[in-house]
Structure 1
């Protein structure tokens, strides 16, 4: 089997052709795919009419599959190995635009990276397009490696050792959502994440940012949030962004450790159905420390006063 890998953006993103993901992928072919993933951070596969079973089988090549909690407490359409990026209820009917699941999913329109609010962050996500609206509903991706490279030297020095605290409640509070399942605050407390990291597989250094980042540890709340917003605005300039218009059968894979993404608005009276699987990152020494600190931490009202803890 011969595959082709063609860049489709000046900085990142490649389209992969010549492989049928509905069948098991040979080890040597997957090695090529993974090398391209390390190099380009976002891979686009066209014409892949995957079932959930086929998507899950391909996903497991990348590592352990993350399970998704029931954030909003509503009946779910898919198993917890999938995140349902759709506007459908558990019976497959269109959701009322006022439904709280629609409200929760609106947070996907903020620039973010999946699972940064978990002690073990995500390595990659795989999103399969099953139904798409006639207009809108694109997904945009931003290259955090290129953004880091473009930072002035003094800004790189400023952010090199900074750690931000991430929370799903924080990002959803930005859109006014507070209808979480009552188990979520205890199951997903805030976690610290480095704002800059180096990845040996690609040889690249990257920013690690997301709308989930609540504040920078050790900095005054307002000052830290201003810096986070400054970095996100810088990193999402047009030159760093790829815009993907979906076609049924597309599968897009992205590296959550060195990209951000956001869904774009669409007509909620039209069906938009994409199924996402997510792979957990490897355990790092920092994660082990962060998990220990999280368990030992206490609320810091001076930092978090006023916060609610509750479209790709």
Structure 2
């Protein structure tokens, strides 16, 4: 009796140290048979790109669930079913929430204040911004850590860093409204290791625009060191910028990858939808 042929993962590197392009069909991806291989590749490469896969919202959610536990967005938790979450800076489309997304224009890791930062985000393009704007940049913080000297690793492995959502406000509004500042500070402020010792045995840098102070160091030295680390981690060899086409899907490993939206006109109509995977290990 004939047996069904095994589905094989088809992938190619985007750059040597970050990113893989996945070439499998929609049907192959939705089958779930490639889920384990995709998770392994995501951890190795940081970012997976699925060019013009054109998932419907329902397929986007279904695919997410093949890879791990679906993580509802805060504003969607009152809904009866898991849904994709709209991402846009246009306040007419996303009133009340768009202002918090302005920090996404600068390098960051999602959920650094959470006990378990999300495992990954899956972002799909519905409407791109005009060509040359609105790309999403990615930085492999595993590779950036690996490239440090042994002396630097020994130093940075000891550091703990204060992280707070309020610190992102200073990137786009350095003289903020006091009410907004206090609202952002109410989200919380935590101390976590600068270097994430993963259960896999690998290490990655936990940096980005939520990081504001190295514990035990003054503001002057903290800023100098954190700025150097961000500059190091966003070198050409550790990063790539994805230019969106309608139907693209991109997954990034939030535990070892920074990301940012590159500048675009908030009124241009750019519309993305996102799902997330629940976190699986604390920063330690």
* Correspondence for 2:21: 15
**Normalized against structure 1, the TM-score is what?**
0.77
In structure 1, distance between residues paired with 2:160 and 2:141: 16
In structure 1, distance between residues paired with 2:73 and 2:192: 20
Q: Does 1:219 align with 2:227?
A: no
Q: Does 1:125 align with 2:132?
A: no
Given that 1:21 and 1:48 are in contact with CA atoms closer than 8 Å, whether structure 2 keeps it comes out as no
Post-superposition shift, 1:120? Answer: 2.0
Once the two structures are superposed, the pairs formed by residues 15-94 of structure 1 within 5 Å of their partners are 15-20=21-26, 24-26=30-32, 28-69=33-74, 82-89=84-91
Aligned length: 269
In structure 1, distance between residues paired with 2:209 and 2:181: 20
In structure 2, distance between residues paired with 1:239 and 1:10: 8
Partner of 1:254, secondary structure, is strand
Q: Does 1:156 align with 2:153?
A: yes
Can you list the C-alpha shifts for 1:168-208, whole angstroms capped at 9, x where unaligned?
A: 1111233215565987654x31122221123354x532111
Post-superposition shift, 1:237? Answer: 1.2
Q: CA RMSD in A?
A: 2.7
Given that 2:192 and 2:283 are in contact with CA atoms closer than 8 Å, whether structure 1 keeps it comes out as no
Given that 2:142 and 2:256 are in contact with CA atoms closer than 8 Å, whether structure 1 keeps it comes out as yes
Given that 1:113 and 1:256 are in contact with CA atoms closer than 8 Å, whether structure 2 keeps it comes out as yes
Partner of 2:172, secondary structure, is coil
Partner of 2:197, secondary structure, is strand
Given that 2:57 and 2:83 are in contact with CA atoms closer than 8 Å, whether structure 1 keeps it comes out as no
In structure 2, distance between residues paired with 1:191 and 1:21: 42
Q: Tell me whether 211-220 or 102-111 shows the greater mean CA deviation.
A: 102-111
**Normalized against structure 2, the TM-score is what?**
0.84
Post-superposition shift, 1:41? Answer: 1.4
In structure 2, distance between residues paired with 1:37 and 1:21: 20
Given that 2:90 and 2:98 are in contact with CA atoms closer than 8 Å, whether structure 1 keeps it comes out as no
In structure 1, distance between residues paired with 2:129 and 2:146: 36
Given that 1:164 and 1:195 are in contact with CA atoms closer than 8 Å, whether structure 2 keeps it comes out as yes
Segments of structure 2 that go 5 or more residues without pairing to the other structure are 1-6, 76-80
Post-superposition shift, 1:19? Answer: 3.0
Segments of structure 1 that go 5 or more residues without pairing to the other structure are 71-78, 287-312
Can you list the C-alpha shifts for 1:226-261, whole angstroms capped at 9, x where unaligned?
A: 211111111111221111000111110011111111
Post-superposition shift, 1:283? Answer: 4.2
